[in-house]
Structure 1
Amino acid sequence: MKTIIALDFDTLEQSREFVSKLSAKNLENYAKEHNLKLIMPYLKVGMWQYYTAGNDFLKELKDLGFNIFLDLKLIDIPNTIYNATKTLLKNDIDILSLHSFAGEQALKAAVNAKNELGSKCELFGISVLTSFEEEEFKNDLGFNGSINDCVKQRCLISKKAGLDGIVSSAYEAKFAKYLGLKALTPGIRFLGNDANDQARVATPKFAIENNIDYIVAGRMITKSSNPIRAYFQCIKGEENE
């Protein structure tokens, strides 16, 4: 299970300060000291960071040795998705998110762009945001079934389109794995941590027990007194910091 650290900061300066503490050298030293395998983290770059600093920020992180999850949740008509994906994948990113509600044809357009470039970037479809609870989901989106029903539908569409994986909470990821899709799950927390703006949260232990491929951990690492230790605890699937 790989851990993606969400750069949940208000400014780029704060993001850069955190990344400097999470340097490859510091990670390597911690791994050696505790007899652990060094695995470089993925860093989640979200909308506001990309819209603020663009490709320069992505290059900055790549040059430091980090993997990048560019979480833009792309949603638009197929031609626009094709062009956007083709442009973004030229930045040597590792994971790109698209919203599965863009529809099968738009998702296929993204896959076509990836294939034309020969890119190894993994394309993940957003299903239902982990901030939703059942009642709010039904009221806001007008979906008659459960969140789990909707995620299954999104998994099927993402699979048909040729995406690499699906983004959902850890509780709905089982169907994605059944279809042969990779599972990427936000809303990961250590026991006792605040849920903040997430609703369907799970622990690293739950994620690893359910064969999740990628977890997204934000404040539980970025606000930790020892972020590097917290990062390795996520990789090991521990419940407590």
Structure 2
Amino acid sequence: MNKPIIALDFPSEIEVFQFLNQFDEKLFVKVGMELFYQEGPDIVRKIKDLGHDIFLDLKLHDIPNTVKSAMKGLARLGVDLVNVHAAGGKNMMEAAIEGLEAGSADKRPMLIAVTQLTSTTEEQMQKEQKIPLSLLDSVLHYAQLTKDAGLDGVVCSVHEAKNIADVCGETFLRVTPGIRLPGGDAHDQKRIATPDYARINGSSYIVIGRAVTKAENPVEAYKKVCQLWEGI
């Protein structure tokens, strides 16, 4: 069972290490835009120096050559997982892989693509993106496009994970944010689920944030997430 990924949605390095120093084990953590844009690449290097795995969640979406060049640089940070927006298209995603391979000294980081954000509802998608499909059909289309481009998987909601596995195969990763502990606040997410629901419904990795990082006892909250995720 893959480790739950903890979203380090903190604004500063000080808060990150105050959080990480509470744990006596190696974690899989997510560094997103908020932290990366405040602290820069050094925060990634410092977290890696502690032995933690890192999902660098920057959701690149630009012309293929720009994404290729950016990925070449990100690969040199030694992260384990990175992502792009599938809406950038097949050529962009293929360029992202080329950049990662060019920048990697050894095995390239895993690369996944965002299908639809877990904060997006079907009504929003149809109205604002002008996509005349169901949300599930849009997600499955992006997932197949991502697989055709040679990526390792997608970011999706738990509620689409099993469908994606049926279409793209079990080895195609389904990384699912929007994870909450039972009774937890949904915050700004629309399509949420608990760790045990995610396990049953086909997630490969789960991403959990405030339910752990803002908990009164983050270590105990993380243990609870792991128990539910592992079916203990």
Q: Normalized against structure 1, the TM-score is what?
A: 0.88
Q: Which SS does the other structure have where 1:200 is aligned?
A: coil
Contact between 1:188 and 1:204, CA under 8 Å: does it hold in 2? Answer: yes
Within 2, Cα distance between the matches of 1:2 and 1:133? 28
Q: Measure the CA separation in 2 of the matches of 1:200 and 1:175.
A: 15
* SS in structure 2 at match of 1:68: strand
Question: Deviation of residue 53 (structure 1)?
Answer: 1.5
Distance in 1 of aligned mates of 2:152 and 2:80: 12
Structure 1 residues 183-215: Cα deviation after superposition (integer angstroms, max 9, x where no partner)? 100000011111000000000001111231111
SS at match of 2:187: coil
Per-residue CA deviations over 1:38-67 (Å, capped at 9, x if unaligned) read xx3211111121122222100110111111
Does 1:237 pair with 2:228? yes
Counterpart amino acid of 1:54?
Answer: G
1:126 correspondence with 2:114: yes
Of 179-188 and 130-139, more deviation after overlay is shown by 130-139
1:196 equivalenced with 2:197 (yes/no)? no
2: CA distance, partners of 1:115 / 1:92: 12
* 1:85 equivalent in structure 2: 71
Aligned residue in 1 for 2:7:
6
1:184 counterpart = 2:175: yes
Q: Equivalent residue for 2:57?
A: 71
Confirm or deny: 8 A CA contact 1:130 1:169 kept in the other structure. yes
1:135-174 equivalence runs, <5 A? 135-174=123-162
Which residue matches 2:163? 175
Between 130-139 and 174-183, the greater mean CA deviation after superposition: 174-183
In structure 2, distance between residues paired with 1:208 and 1:18: 26
Distance 1:87 1:65 in 2: 20
**Is 1:109 aligned with 2:112?**
no
Q: Deviations over 1:207-230 (max 9, x none)?
A: 111231111100111112221222
Gaps of 5+ in 1: 28-39
Distance 1:224 1:215 in 2: 18
**Deviations 1:115-154 (Å, cap 9, x if unpaired)?**
3334331101001000112212211111111111110010
Instruction: Select 1:99's aligned residue among 76, 85, 93.
Output: 85
Which amino acid in the other structure matches residue 187 of structure 2? N
Structure 1 residue 238 displacement after superposition: 5.5
Q: Percent of counterpart pairs with the same letter? A: 39
Query: Considering only aligned residues, what root-mean-square deviation do their CA atoms show, in Å?
Result: 1.6
Distance in 1 (CA, whole Å) between partners of 2:226 and 2:17 is 23
Return the letter of the residue paired with 1:21.
Q
* CA distance in 2 between partners of 1:80 and 1:86 (Å): 10
* Number of corresponding residues: 224
In 1, distance between residues paired with 2:27 and 2:4?
Answer: 6
> What secondary structure sits across from 1:224 in the alignment?
coil
Separation in 2, partners of 1:182, 1:233: 23
SS at match of 2:221: helix
Aligned to 1:45: 31
Structure-1 separation of matches of 2:88 and 2:229:
36
Using structure 2 for the length normalisation, give the TM-score. 0.91
